[in-house]
């Protein structure tokens, strides 16, 4: 009887079906300082380690593409669940989780149990861009955090750095994002770094040819050969564009010059369907900024339709649920799930 009552309580309080109506100012009554608190921690992170804000901004992509923006990629593995942190595109690569922890801690102090980790990612990504010289925009909020994560879904969805523009266009289309969104959002690589691991094939064996990618500018290739020689520790990192601390359109200028770091970047210039936009953004920064903000808003709207909660700690689901809900109950709740981007 007590158990039933508790389940009833959980259903009526913390367990809510994901709402599809995200809106600006969602926390204006329940946590009016939320956006300010997030920005404050992001400023500190930028000061402490400039790259960390790029690393946090990347979370929005890796979260939203895999079953919607639900902070699933922040969940640590458990004995029953292989999370997304060790998925192919994330292992030894996603970083700066501690910045999100710090934001969450600050928010829990001010308004416990109110602001979701999924919304933190959205706010922090916007701040990362604005704080490094990029556009600013008003975010829609009100997401819930997932109750689970899927390494398999992440493996199946997230693109490889080897991907060509055709494959990327297809992937983005599955997430309701256009060719314009793809090119603009790839401009996120205006900040941050990638590992030698992500470029070795391009330097030494593009498409199994035994040769480097012919699209590489020869002097840039020489530079990369020095930074990432064949016997390098492949965790060594390299700038994604020539101004990695500034969010600007230099990334597109670099692509036009054959100086894009990732194959998935340079392919946007070598393929006809995306080349025009790359060229355009390389000379029109404000149009790039506008398209980028629009793309981030669209990507931020991806949702799974699954039930969720506001996690107290972004790394784990709220503990009491797991103990109280029998397995069959969990299955019922997840019955009509929608897979975003598949």
Ligand X SMILES: *[C@@H]1O[C@H](CO)[C@@H](O)[C@H](O)[C@H]1NC(C)=O
- Residues making up the annotated binding site for Ca(2+) are 63, 66, 68, 70, 72, 84, 241, 243, 248
Binding site as annotated, residues: 63, 66, 68, 70, 72, 84, 159, 189, 241, 243, 248
Q: Which is nearer to ligand X, 166 or 334 (CB)?
A: 166
Q: How far is the CB of 291 from ligand HEM (least distance, A)?
A: 12
Cα 196–Cα 199–Cα 203 angle in degrees, nearest 5 = 110
Catalytic residue among 62, 284, 323, 339: 62
- Residue 189's binding partner, choosing from ligand HEM, ligand X, none, with beta-carbon cut-off 5 to 8 A by kind? ligand HEM
Cα 21–Cα 22–Cα 27 angle in degrees, nearest 5 = 125
Instruction: Report the residue number whose CB is nearest to ligand X.
Output: 208
- Residue 311's binding partner, choosing from ligand HEM, ligand X, none, with beta-carbon cut-off 5 to 8 A by kind? none
Q: How far is the CB of 75 from ligand HEM (least distance, A)?
A: 19
165, 268 contact by CB (below 8 A): yes
Q: Which is nearer to ligand HEM, 151 or 186 (CB)?
A: 186
Catalytic residue flag (residue 11)? no
Q: How far is the CB of 111 from ligand X (least distance, A)?
A: 29
- Residue 186's binding partner, choosing from ligand X, ligand HEM, none, with beta-carbon cut-off 5 to 8 A by kind? ligand HEM
- Residue 55's binding partner, choosing from ligand HEM, ligand X, none, with beta-carbon cut-off 5 to 8 A by kind? ligand HEM
Residues at the contact surface with ligand HEM, assessed by CB under 6 A:
51, 54-55, 57-58, 60-61, 93, 95, 159, 161, 163, 168, 185-186, 188-189, 191-195, 197-198, 240, 262, 264
3-state secondary structure the chain: CHHHHHHHHHHHCCCEECCCCCECCCCCCCCCCHHHHHHHHHHHHHHHCCHHHHHHHHHHHHHHCCCCCCCHHHCCCECCECCCCCCCCCCCCCCCHHHHHHHHHHHHHHCCCCCCHHHHHHHHHHHHHHHCCCCCCCCCECCCECCCCCHHHHHHHCCCCCCCHHHHHHHHHHCCCCHHHHHHHHHHHHCCEEEHHHCHHHHHCHHHCCCCCCCCCHHHHHHHHHHCCCCCCCCCEEECCCCCCCCCCHHHHHHHCCCCCCHHHHHHHHCHHHHHHHHHHHHCHHHHHHHHHHHHHHHHCCCCCCEEECCCECCECCHHHHHHCCHHHHHHHCCCCCCCCC
> Tokens at residue 240, please?
């994604």
- Residue 192's binding partner, choosing from ligand HEM, ligand X, none, with beta-carbon cut-off 5 to 8 A by kind? ligand HEM
Q: Which is nearer to ligand X, 33 or 337 (CB)?
A: 337
59, 117 contact by CB (below 8 A): no
Q: Which is nearer to ligand X, 121 or 131 (CB)?
A: 121
Binding site as annotated, residues for substrate: 159
- Residue 188's binding partner, choosing from ligand HEM, ligand X, none, with beta-carbon cut-off 5 to 8 A by kind? ligand HEM
Q: Which is nearer to ligand HEM, 205 or 334 (CB)?
A: 205
Residues at the contact surface with ligand X, assessed by CB under 6 A:
92, 164, 166-167, 175-176, 197, 205, 208, 210, 233-235, 302, 340-341
Q: How far is the CB of 197 from ligand X (least distance, A)?
A: 4
Query: Hey, which residues are catalytic here?
Result: 62
């Amino acid at each position: 009887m007590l158990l039933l009552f508790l389940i009833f309580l959980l259903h009526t309080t913390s367990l809510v079906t994901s709402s599809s109506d995200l809106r600006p100012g969602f926390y204006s009554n329940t946590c009016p300082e939320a956006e300010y608190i997030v920005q404050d921690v992001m400023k500190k992170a930028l000061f402490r380690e400039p790259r960390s804000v790029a690393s946090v901004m990347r979370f929005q992509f890796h979260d939203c593409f895999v079953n919607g923006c639900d902070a699933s990629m922040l969940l640590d593995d458990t004995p029953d669940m292989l999370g997304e942190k060790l998925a192919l595109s994330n292992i030894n690569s996603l970083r700066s989780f501690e910045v999100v922890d710090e934001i969450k801690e600050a928010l829990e102090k001010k308004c416990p149990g109110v602001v979701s980790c999924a919304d933190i990612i959205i706010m922090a990504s916007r701040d990362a861009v604005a704080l490094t010289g990029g556009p600013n925009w008003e975010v829609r909020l009100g997401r819930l955090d997932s109750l689970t994560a899927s390494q398999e879904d992440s493996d199946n969805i997230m693109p490889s750095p080897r991907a060509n523009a055709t494959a990327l266009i297809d992937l983005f289309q599955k997430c309701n994002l256009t060719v314009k969104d793809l090119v603009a959002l790839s401009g996120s690589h205006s900040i941050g770094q990638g590992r030698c691991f992500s470029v070795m094939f391009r330097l030494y064996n593009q498409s199994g040819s035994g040769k480097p990618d012919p699209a590489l500018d020869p002097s840039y290739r020489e530079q990369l050969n020095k930074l990432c020689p064949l016997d390098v520790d492949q965790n060594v990192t390299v700038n994604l564009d020539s101004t990695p601390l500034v969010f600007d359109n230099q990334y597109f200028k670099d692509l036009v010059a054959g100086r894009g770091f990732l194959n998935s970047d340079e392919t946007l210039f070598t393929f006809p369907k995306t080349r025009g936009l790359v060229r355009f953004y390389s000379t029109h920064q404000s149009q790039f900024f506008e398209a980028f903000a629009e793309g981030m808003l669209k990507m931020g709207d991806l949702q799974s339709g699954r039930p969720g909660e506001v996690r107290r700690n972004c790394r784990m689901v709220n503990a009491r649920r797991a103990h109280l809900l029998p397995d069959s109950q969990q299955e019922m709740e997840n019955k009509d799930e929608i897979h975003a981007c598949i």
